[in-house]
Structure 1
């Protein structure tokens, strides 16, 4: 400001001198010897003008100086009375200046001048705001560095008190409404199996259970149907219920309906939605996931997917066949409206996957429809079954994944059997090209499931996919009876997944087996499908003999060079369960640059939850996981850590 004013003044003086001297110089140049006399008045004018200009300059400079001093005083006063904490620190963090608010409100009146701020708070200057806790209050710190008059680095720090704001934010989140949907699993089947007095007692027990659930909250709970409830709770109470891991699930299991049946619940929680309607939609999604995983558990939809709680007991088998009849009718119509049907299972297809495809193919042929079973001839665990079918009905039934992907059209129907995960199908390319898809699976529902199916037949309480297909066969309208070889395929799948009718068997499992036997399934031929080589038997025996016991768990390492390593690993896990005191068994093997873990139990330990913690899945008594970027030893340590947490 000052240099600019100074320059203007001397520019005016120069112009005045030039205006006086120029006429005199012109007269003198024309020969007038007295021309210089004209300069005298001009010189007087110039002196007076310059004096006035200098006086004006001094006044302006004095005014600017007073204005600067006033601004500086105003700035200091503003900082001192600003309702915001302010302090200045040097390069080492020593406080060199602060305002009244900082001294009294933030530091509580204690002297801070000359002391190191870094010794008191966890703070380092940054170009981004930093949130800290000081004296039980929350502050956001803004740091702005600059250099003072002497060139030293000084950092000004402004303290914004956000305690009340964060309290309001937390109160807003805690008070958001959440929707909780509760379903009594298989209520109708449970009630039908007991006397009238028992039904009344069960109803009272359910009401008391729900009253206890809603107690100590400000929420509401209403009964929608005999087996269905809805609760509206604030998020603070839902968080407490989640922290307690849904104790209502354990309380429900303690209610005995009769001597053999207990009560279980499925719960879906919708929280964090922008509206109450959105929370209800999330609750329905969570409930569908809980039911799809067999019930007796709670599912909570989060930003990272679903979180599950419970799932400790075996699901109660459904007795009604109304759904099966409806699914069979819908499926047959889809098949009849298709030019060709492709049947595909999961990668490394086993007797349940390929057997189910073959059994369904036998029925589709009786509908006079063209059908193909998609199977990798080299990468499958049912080679003996494939050979048997080719021998009985010819090789034309099977097609490779590559051939199917090249041949499929929009008029084709793709039926996926024994998996509902898009990343586990035999041919992802075929799945991506298919426009019309049907899913038939019995595995507990995963978060990443096939969501574009025209028909999604999912029954997690079924023993196997072959059991589900056998039930559908009984409601198909066929031009004849399914050939015995296809019945053998279905019976082999049931036998595999039930471990010779020991695991996960219900009334409907035996009814399905009886139907297959009725249409001439050969149990001896099925048994022969499970025979293995002497090398595989020796390998399995060696693996079991070297297993390590950790309390209730058995873990065995499987050498990577073991013949038929995938099949032998799963069979070894089955055999480990025969050891006294072992409730769950695990085999670990390295295969195709991945670590494969097979898990088995008799159902009292949910191995599905254990495998899900490792990124896998499956059933309560049979599950698996694949781990990348780790060694077998690291996978074992991770598994042991999960088992330790389970025991704790």
Structure 2
């Protein structure tokens, strides 16, 4: 121990006698000044004190250092013993995850021998690879399941640079990265998670149930049986939820309030809300099956907030056509069902109410700006023309935003641009519209309810008075600040909806022939020449337009194709690929085409004429965006497929847009979505 030296606070304590000796010498000098004999006496005592201090320090120093080393060794063994007996599993690995040391608790948990097991920790805990380890001087946590118990693993990095630099037997390569060990500490959180899960399972979930077609179903059955039909539906709903420990309270002839636990909600998810199909089996001679819409609010912070979210969810379910469940779970929205065609309402009360409300908003505004979706088609343009005529009937200035028309729209636009009966500024581009719209402008959005699909999304933020008229189903992303929203998925087209509104608007609106042509053309295109999504009200709207001067021959001439479009459509049909026996996928060439997306949608319609095809998908690349046109007749819900690709639409007519992807990647994504949808049982 002769080469070992003391340091720090211990060194100061050991040098204290030397300091006291210096003090005593000064005192001795002072005594000499007062009395010489006393000073000599004190000096003798001081000499004896110094001799004793030197003897004790010299003889006891080595023993003291030996005791200190012994204590440090024993202290390290105590620490090691404590770590070994620590109740929490603890382990140390190298930078590759190889186990170097672990305590008894870790050995008992894993069943590994502490002296011989030196494999990677990843062999014990799946996925615990070195690429997931924390960086220098950092700490991270992972959750895992081992032997059916939940563990939270805390991983801390330990840098060895200083230890290696101070070592006499190790040397660090300066070119290498820092050497590190990793400490693993495991916390068993099984009981905690069980209590958390139990708490979450017991929280209350609120929901609302509406009968979509109550009036229509009642009218389809004999009057004496109507009460029986209602009773059977009530019994079906009550028994279904009571069997799952839920509560049902009917508060209107066709409306119910439900309350249940989160555990019940999870069971309903597993059953995929088969109550929707069960209710349809109720039949006592009624020609029309009863369908339900269900809105549920869960995990929104309070019971009151859950109820508000349930109300928003039921509105969304009805806006998507009914016969489905919309679950608003926190910030996420999930859809179940929605596989049947939206039921056409026989009553026009709603159209009349919306017409009167729209009239009030137009009268209260200085000017009206009408906007459709990007790449405006004839349905958007025709419905915009209808709103334009309504505004002009009330002597209000009106403008239509047209920035990117398609080839089908261009002939109709030319009819208005070159017509002296119309203001030369009635059609605005996006730049002009931004200057036109202010807080006193009524902005009417037609044929879309998604803000990012509109011709200019910025206009939605320039005014607080927005009206939305659309026939597409609502999704998670919709225009939320509209003062009036009229969305009817059962309608064939936006033009049909506008034609109905015009009949109740200011005691009727007198249309000009070219305006009636535009509205009629919109209905004709969206129904594929009246072959799909047509109902009684569709033909009634067409009859109104015919009385207004619409000419079928004139409209047909405007839809004639040029030779390039015809050839591109033929190439699309010839390149079609059958997928999983019932789906057909093709790519529409976009070169030399003015509006390739229109050609693609037309080709998708024609592909349905092939025997055995349940749905067709045509992909078109245009301006670095892949446009997908999806079509079906009645066996497949293409809306669900397109929603999973970020789009939407109707059961038999939908689409999606994929920016910044190649056609090949878009086809692969579509096939993956088709596979997942088929395997999940959500397609039909």
TM score, norm. by length of structure 2? 0.84
Provide Cα deviations, 1:16-46, integer angstroms capped at 9, x if missing partner.
356557988x99xxxx9xx989844542343
CA distance in structure 2 between the partners assigned to 1:141 and 1:557 by the alignment: 50
| Counterpart position of 1:630 | 661
Distance 1:447 1:97, change over 3 A: closer
1:491 aligns with 2:527: no
> Which has the larger displacement, 238-247 or 300-309?
300-309
Which of 9, 15, 31 is residue 7 of structure 1 equivalent to? Answer: 15
Provide Cα deviations, 1:177-227, integer angstroms capped at 9, x if missing partner.
212322221212211221134323422331332234224423222222222
1:246 aligns with 2:248: no
- On the 8 A contact 1:601/1:607 being kept in 2, the answer is yes
Distance 1:20 1:515, change over 3 A: same
| Counterpart position of 1:173 | 200
CA distance in structure 1 between the partners assigned to 2:481 and 2:229 by the alignment: 39
| Counterpart position of 2:88 | 84
The aligned runs of 1:303-382 (5 Å cut-off) are 305-376=332-403, 381-382=408-409
- On the 8 A contact 2:372/2:447 being kept in 1, the answer is yes
Provide Cα deviations, 1:147-181, integer angstroms capped at 9, x if missing partner.
89996998765433222112212222222221232
| Counterpart position of 1:115 | 117
Which of 120, 123, 137 is residue 149 of structure 2 equivalent to? Answer: 137
The CA deviation at 1:278 is: 1.7
Distance 1:97 1:403, change over 3 A: closer
The CA deviation at 1:643 is: 2.5
> Which has the larger displacement, 602-611 or 122-131?
122-131
The CA deviation at 1:80 is: 6.4
> Which has the larger displacement, 144-153 or 429-438?
144-153
- On the 8 A contact 2:217/2:286 being kept in 1, the answer is no
1:221 aligns with 2:226: no
Which of 439, 443, 451 is residue 480 of structure 2 equivalent to? Answer: 451
SS at match of 1:600: strand
Provide Cα deviations, 1:130-155, integer angstroms capped at 9, x if missing partner.
43433333333445648899969987
Which of 535, 538, 548 is residue 509 of structure 1 equivalent to? Answer: 538
| Counterpart position of 1:401 | 430
CA distance in structure 2 between the partners assigned to 1:69 and 1:644 by the alignment: 66
- On the 8 A contact 2:630/2:654 being kept in 1, the answer is yes
Distance 1:163 1:58, change over 3 A: same
CA distance in structure 1 between the partners assigned to 2:439 and 2:640 by the alignment: 38
> Which has the larger displacement, 343-352 or 130-139?
130-139
| Counterpart position of 1:469 | 498
1:437 aligns with 2:459: no
- On the 8 A contact 1:190/1:257 being kept in 2, the answer is no
1:273 aligns with 2:278: no
> Which has the larger displacement, 499-508 or 115-124?
115-124
- On the 8 A contact 2:205/2:261 being kept in 1, the answer is yes
> Which has the larger displacement, 256-265 or 274-283?
256-265
- On the 8 A contact 2:217/2:287 being kept in 1, the answer is no
Distance 1:103 1:567, change over 3 A: closer
| Counterpart position of 2:140 | 128
1:555 aligns with 2:600: no
SS at match of 2:505: coil
The CA deviation at 1:317 is: 0.9
Which of 292, 314, 317 is residue 290 of structure 1 equivalent to? Answer: 317
> Which has the larger displacement, 418-427 or 428-437?
428-437
SS at match of 1:231: strand
Distance 1:479 1:633, change over 3 A: closer
- On the 8 A contact 1:13/1:50 being kept in 2, the answer is no
The CA deviation at 1:97 is: 6.4
Provide Cα deviations, 1:415-453, integer angstroms capped at 9, x if missing partner.
111111111112223333233211111111121111111
> Which has the larger displacement, 428-437 or 318-327?
428-437
Question: How many pairs are equivalent?
Answer: 641
SS at match of 2:325: strand
1:415 aligns with 2:444: yes
Distance 1:253 1:156, change over 3 A: same
The aligned runs of 1:66-85 (5 Å cut-off) are 83-85=87-89
- On the 8 A contact 1:183/1:267 being kept in 2, the answer is yes
| Counterpart position of 1:46 | 50
Distance 1:593 1:117, change over 3 A: same
- On the 8 A contact 1:312/1:604 being kept in 2, the answer is no
Provide Cα deviations, 1:568-595, integer angstroms capped at 9, x if missing partner.
1111111112222222222111110111
- On the 8 A contact 1:9/1:57 being kept in 2, the answer is no
Unmatched segments (≥5 aa) in structure 2? 1-8, 171-179, 680-684
Distance 1:154 1:442, change over 3 A: closer
> Which has the larger displacement, 122-131 or 174-183?
122-131
| Counterpart position of 1:621 | 652
- On the 8 A contact 1:143/1:156 being kept in 2, the answer is yes
CA distance in structure 2 between the partners assigned to 1:459 and 1:72 by the alignment: 77
CA distance in structure 2 between the partners assigned to 1:96 and 1:400 by the alignment: 72
CA distance in structure 1 between the partners assigned to 2:453 and 2:646 by the alignment: 13
1:98 aligns with 2:100: no
> Which has the larger displacement, 181-190 or 198-207?
198-207
1:519 aligns with 2:524: no
CA distance in structure 1 between the partners assigned to 2:409 and 2:91 by the alignment: 76
Which of 590, 610, 613 is residue 621 of structure 2 equivalent to? Answer: 590
